[in-house]
Structure 1
């Protein structure tokens, strides 16, 4: 039995019919994989992924964060499903099907995951779409979940049969209420810790950093803290007004999804030519693609777009469950016309937030969440999302780059050809998300968008390819 952290619970709290907190992976496999083979694989490996056996247990009246409890019997007939694409089974047909699946909320009466085996993809390939609720994992954790079903060679490794799980029905109501009282007593300590850590960092908290006086107060508190306790001076962050774009505002319940691959070797060649990082190149490609799309819509702001960039809080060898991630904000240099200058502007901005994060990892969100009574957190989360959608968004979009294995992998004896991330869009973070995942010599990019805001999402992937060609030519 494990209680959800405040950050994990936030992903449950903000979820509505339109703000759906699913994260997923789309695996493209060589050849055909049957459902019987997949079910056998899941049965063998399920014990390696505790999240697949756990469901939510709510505290009475939502007075505290829920608990994860062991599901008595995981119903694989429910969780593992299959379907087929109509002929001819194109990539766009697959992406449209994934978009429909991704927009559906997971049933909280069951463990929060679903797996879809998708047949009929042209070229004799099979697709496997696996989605989990963001309350269970972050991006790095999602990669670990998928890795449990993968092998280093075509012959699947055999796992010893998992022993029956220990019965875990969760705490009794009286015990939950006692624990809730203890948490309420601890809230002032969490709040004090938040104030100590977060006030010097008001300039990096989305929405808060736009309030009058936030930046000077943060700067002054950092000076006081450094005078009293010493330490390095952290880099200043520029004030980042978030311009309005066609993909900011209240999102709908419908999604679009598109994907593409970029050769990692070419990205590294560009990185070496300009003295930047792989992540800088990926961020610049995203900036260029979004800039081109906004120009098409005659909606390119004069100010740079503001991107939310997830940063992992996991320590080395830390493979614990739940979300251990924070969101840093950075200008995306979409207003810069010259691609070479755009790359250097992105490099400078990313280096600034990395230097700052390295000196003082941003754990303020966790402490803020722990400082609030759980009964109020859900209302606060939904209110914040609604306010961001109606007034000023926290960021324009999310851009993420997750490193992955550079060796071929196999699922159920079939070679994994590509692994595309499928992420989240919300009212607060914008109706566009560009997430990259590197695997075996390629960078697989998944683009998720609100259907009404970005109906032509495949143009984004085309512009990513154009942006790569543009930088390649400049690299010589």
Structure 2
């Protein structure tokens, strides 16, 4: 089975939303990067992986590009080739101390995630981990969210993955020559190599970008106004949409007293600490559970998490009616690798005592209402353009306040429905490590080869008993499956 060659994201500048994720990282609590821990069935052939990775980087300019800020925020940051690209800065090996248990591996992955990416280099890193029990290995991967969302990262991963164990590595490539050529084709002054002479070029490039952006907005506005005499309802619709967007922004920046609070009295704490847990289910089981209530895998996924939250609180003598969560609404219309096209959507999930089928139905209704509201207002992403013009301290404090209201964020990704290999080693699981970014936890699921792997990436200051919560998640899904069988 041959993999198709994908087009890669080739935009020269960050979008407003990507720029926001780049800027807020100045507060380490708001790290937006997406990571994963790939479990392999044997030791990885690192030399073969390096050769494969070099070929993949050669096809994906974003992997050898670094960030150059726009001048005084007149424009979003630019992507430029890194003239000093060094693969060794992005790929390294470590050995787990004996006996190499799963807990040791997960704790190492959480520590690796907490190491900041070097903002002067391309924004990604791989760590090959040897010494895992039963003569296996693992691989930690992290990529900044300004480079790609989860879907784009899965597509980028195809560059170093194979569909059979004996697939030969790609031919050697002269990666250094490819990067040197890309550097030579760019504006040397804008690349930032000589800051003393780059200011004029940077101002000019930034001003040109702003002019193009404003011209595009103006052209669309003229075209829209020209349509109003033929269809007066368009004017009413556009004004209504604008009002909805402003209301959505106001709700995010100045929430009501009720909205400004986390639903959970137990999960209010926040910190930079991270703890990783893992639950593996079967895709077919989740389909069965979702279908029992006329819903989807994602409805069953979110309902199971709400049930687990309910059980955790009952076990600690606390009753809650709802839990503040969020899900990711993809707005992708392309098949490209990399890039970002999503908006996070806040939603209140039912967390009281409830029959499993009734809970799925209630989750479906809550998610649909939240989705419709996000589509009208632009969701959290609708704030990006305005936020990028504000002082960073204002943006980060606002983002912290918004994130602190979320008990746990969720995301659900769909990977390949067949076995995947990395340089001869079969992938037995890929555990997502989504950005916690000031929430109580990020809970991301990835379906691949029939498995449904759930990464519970937890702030232990919020969920003080992460292992207990993981047990509640496992038991909740098991009981839901029994009830719906």
TM-score range relative to shorter protein: 0.7 to 0.9
Aligned to 1:262: 281
Aligned to 1:67: 78
Structure 1 alignment gaps of length 5 or more:
213-238
Alpha carbons of 1:362 and 1:38: their partners in 2 closer, same or farther (altered >3 Å)?
A: farther
Equivalent residues of 1:84, 1:120 under 8 A apart: yes
Aligned to 2:229: none
The offset of 1:354, in angstroms, is 4.7
| Separation (CA, whole Å) in 1 of partners of 2:454 and 2:243 | 36
Aligned to 2:203: 177
SS at match of 1:305: strand
* Mapped pair 1:37 → 2:48: yes
| Separation (CA, whole Å) in 2 of partners of 1:348 and 1:38 | 45
Alpha carbons of 1:56 and 1:300: their partners in 2 closer, same or farther (altered >3 Å)?
A: farther
SS at match of 2:277: strand
Residue pairs, 1:292-331, within 5 angstroms: 292-301=311-320, 303-315=321-333, 317-319=334-336, 321-331=338-348
* Mapped pair 1:131 → 2:142: yes
Equivalent residues of 1:256, 1:449 under 8 A apart: yes
Point out the more displaced range, 194-203 or 91-100.
Answer: 194-203
| Separation (CA, whole Å) in 1 of partners of 2:316 and 2:214 | 47
| Separation (CA, whole Å) in 2 of partners of 1:111 and 1:145 | 14
- Scaled by the length of structure 2, what TM-score is found? 0.82
Q: Pick from 362, 367, 370: which aligns with 2:385?
A: 370
Alpha carbons of 1:292 and 1:364: their partners in 2 closer, same or farther (altered >3 Å)?
A: closer
Aligned to 2:16: 6
The offset of 1:36, in angstroms, is 2.4
* Mapped pair 1:459 → 2:473: no
Residue pairs, 1:100-249, within 5 angstroms: 100-160=111-171, 161=173, 164-165=178-179, 166-167=182-183, 168=186, 169=188, 171=190, 172-182=198-208, 197-201=241-245, 207-208=251-252, 211=255, 242-249=262-269
Point out the more displaced range, 450-459 or 435-444.
Answer: 450-459
The offset of 1:6, in angstroms, is 1.4
Alpha carbons of 1:6 and 1:201: their partners in 2 closer, same or farther (altered >3 Å)?
A: closer
Alpha carbons of 1:196 and 1:340: their partners in 2 closer, same or farther (altered >3 Å)?
A: closer
Can you list the C-alpha shifts for 1:434-456, whole angstroms capped at 9, x where unaligned?
11000011100001111322243
Aligned to 1:253: 272
Can you list the C-alpha shifts for 1:218-273, whole angstroms capped at 9, x where unaligned?
xxxxxxxxxxxxxxxxxxxxx89752443335x32221111120011211222233
The offset of 1:179, in angstroms, is 3.9
Equivalent residues of 1:46, 1:53 under 8 A apart: yes
Equivalent residues of 2:126, 2:139 under 8 A apart: yes
SS at match of 2:178: coil
- Scaled by the length of structure 1, what TM-score is found? 0.83
Alpha carbons of 1:361 and 1:46: their partners in 2 closer, same or farther (altered >3 Å)?
A: farther
Equivalent residues of 2:325, 2:348 under 8 A apart: yes
Aligned to 1:57: 68
Q: Which runs of 4+ in 1 moved over 6 A?
A: 187-196
| Separation (CA, whole Å) in 1 of partners of 2:253 and 2:465 | 33
What CA RMSD, in Å, does the superposition of the two structures yield over aligned residues? Answer: 3.1
SS at match of 2:322: coil
Structure 2 alignment gaps of length 5 or more:
1-10, 191-197, 222-237
| Separation (CA, whole Å) in 1 of partners of 2:389 and 2:372 | 36
Alpha carbons of 1:78 and 1:21: their partners in 2 closer, same or farther (altered >3 Å)?
A: same
Aligned to 1:282: 301
Alpha carbons of 1:31 and 1:410: their partners in 2 closer, same or farther (altered >3 Å)?
A: same
Equivalent residues of 1:136, 1:322 under 8 A apart: yes
Aligned to 2:446: 437
Equivalent residues of 1:204, 1:328 under 8 A apart: no
Can you list the C-alpha shifts for 1:385-405, whole angstroms capped at 9, x where unaligned?
24446xxx4433201111111
Can you list the C-alpha shifts for 1:142-198, whole angstroms capped at 9, x where unaligned?
111222211111123543536613214462432321343356666699699898644
| Separation (CA, whole Å) in 1 of partners of 2:342 and 2:189 | 27
Point out the more displaced range, 100-109 or 291-300.
Answer: 291-300
